[in-house]
Amino acid sequence: MKKFLSKLGILFALILMVVGLSACAKSSSGSSKPDVLAEDKKSETITWGVKADTKLFGLMDVKTNRIQGFEIDLAKAMTKQILGPKGKARFIQVTSQTRMPLLRNGNIDAIMATMTITPQRAEQVDFSRSYFDAGQAILVKNGSKIKNVHDLNYSGAVVLGVVGSNSVQNIKKFAPKAKVLQLTDYSQAFTALRSGQGQALTTDNGILYGMSVENPNYSVVGGTFTKEPYGIAVDKGQKPFLNAINSALTEVEKSGQYNKLIYKWFGNVKGFNLKGAYRQ
């Protein structure tokens, strides 16, 4: 009987170990990390890192104290796909600079924040396939002599951008003589443009359209000069979660929800290529 009991004890311990291990995913560094998808299913909540300074994508509405935008709506739709109708999307504000550290520290489960898929970033995080195709452009005051990015290539030119964005690196290739002034977020960068601290602000066209919708005295000029495919970033070693995100994106596209959201947020934006953004 004693023998039987001790065998039963060992079996029980083994089961516990297997259950424990399956709830953990190995991270690239080798340390065990919680399985984000399993935890989110348990809590029926996905915590998304989103922008709150970017009209059209993610902007804080000070009246309602809620963040609104295309990415917020897309994250909500994808959350329902992944977790079912009871699933809740929780939103944490990030900036271009804070999004990667917040993800890697486990403060958020995923980033959906105008983040371009780049090879350098893909060394640190895993990306979903692209959910929006942007391109870098410039915003200037109406009537400005600057008509495209090459017009900024003179010593004395100042281009405004945001820390942690790849735009501030890219611009150096297209206007190497210009000085780049980096602000902490897009609302500060726009304030700097308005107060004349630079001749142009550079980031993705969609973000700049958001600023010109609010401030019609400013326009996006010269077209795009890079390709910026936006991806949802998750921590390395979270394959089940990444697969669930990619499938949810496909479902949201197939059901027509994606195109509805594109129309809702970009339908009235002058210069935005609506048809080009639609997904079948």
Q: Which residues bind ligand GLU (CB under 6 A)?
A: 96, 114-116, 162, 165-167, 203-204, 228
Cβ–Cβ < 8 Å for 67, 113:
no
Cβ of residue 211: shortest distance to ligand GLU, in angstroms? 13
Strands (E), 2-87: 24-26, 32-34, 45-51, 53-54, 58-61, 66-68
Cβ of residue 80: shortest distance to ligand GLU, in angstroms? 25
Cβ–Cβ < 8 Å for 137, 224:
yes
Cβ of residue 255: shortest distance to ligand GLU, in angstroms? 26
The torsion angle over the Cα atoms of residues 131, 135, 138 and 143, rounded to 10 degrees, is: -90
Cβ of residue 16: shortest distance to ligand GLU, in angstroms? 43
Which residue of this chain has its Cβ atom nearest to ligand GLU in the complex? 165
Beta carbon nearer to ligand GLU, 204 or 235: 204
Beta carbon nearer to ligand GLU, 83 or 277: 277
Cβ–Cβ < 8 Å for 91, 181:
no
Beta carbon nearer to ligand GLU, 81 or 96: 96
Cβ of residue 215: shortest distance to ligand GLU, in angstroms? 18
Beta carbon nearer to ligand GLU, 80 or 121: 121
Strands (E), the chain: 24-26, 32-34, 45-51, 53-54, 58-61, 66-68, 88-94, 110-111, 125-127, 132-134, 136-141, 158-162, 179-183, 200-204, 218-221, 228-230, 233-235
The separation between CA 241 and the C-alpha centre of its own chain, rounded to angstroms, equals: 16
Rounded to 10°, the helix 70-83/257-266 angle is: 160
Distance, CA of 279 to CA of 268 (rounded, Å)? 18
The separation between CA 277 and the C-alpha centre of its own chain, rounded to angstroms, equals: 17
Beta carbon nearer to ligand GLU, 81 or 170: 170
Beta carbon nearer to ligand GLU, 167 or 199: 167
Beta carbon nearer to ligand GLU, 38 or 213: 213
Cβ of residue 11: shortest distance to ligand GLU, in angstroms? 51
Q: Which of 251, 241, 246 is nearest to 38 (CA)?
A: 241
